[in-house]
Amino acid sequence: MLAACVQTGRFAFIKDTCCDGALIGRRLELLRGTDIALYNANAQTLLQTLRQGCAGYCGVMANFHPDLYVRLCQNFNSDSAQVLQSFLALAAFAEGLTYPAAAKYYLSAFEGLPLRINSRSVDAALLTDYQKSILSQMRTLEMHLRKTLEIHS
């Protein structure tokens, strides 16, 4: 399928959702030298695939802390890359918490954005106090990481 995409000359961006770093590596080899950029949608394999040649990240977790993904994508060979990757990999499990209401709650509660958590795709009432507590703990860890790595939002 990738060969067909290359042959058409009509593709410049592919979002990969396979969650398999080795497979993404093989896909990157097939795309090397073409005009197609491959973006990983899986936070858990992001650092590995950036080092293999992925163009960046295109996943829903960028709705929680986009600047941290930018930081990793721009500094994937830095000394702090593995620590940042580890946080993003664990934080990405929040995707399973009544998304996108959880992301809207996170941005509203912790970033001060004037958002309601309503959504067309999920009943916001399903976002429980337990889930909000998990998001709060994620935020605590995020802020500690920002201080430790001197990352300012």
pLDDT, tens only, 18-70? 999 999 999 999 999 999 999 999 999 999 999 999 999 999 999 999 999 99
Give the three-state DSSP class for 153: coil
Q: Distance (Å, rounded) from C-alpha 148 to C-alpha 120?
A: 38
Across residues 71-83, what is the average pLDDT?
Answer: 97
Residue 76: per-residue pLDDT: 98
Across residues 83-112, what is the average pLDDT?
Answer: 97
Residue 152: per-residue pLDDT: 84
Q: 94-112: b or e for each residue (b if 16 or more CB lie within 10 Å)?
A: bbebbbbbbbbbbbeebee
C-beta separation of 46 from 82 below 8 A = no
| pLDDT surpassing 90 at residue 153 | no
Q: Which tokens belong to 14?
A: 């592919």
- At 38, phi and psi to the nearest 5? -105, 130
Q: Which tokens belong to 94?
A: 């929040």
Sign of the alpha-carbon dihedral angle for 54, 59, 61, 65: positive
Q: Where are the alpha helices (DSSP H) in the chain?
A: 2-8, 21-31, 46-52, 66-74, 81-91, 101-111, 129-149
Q: Which tokens belong to 38?
A: 């491959």
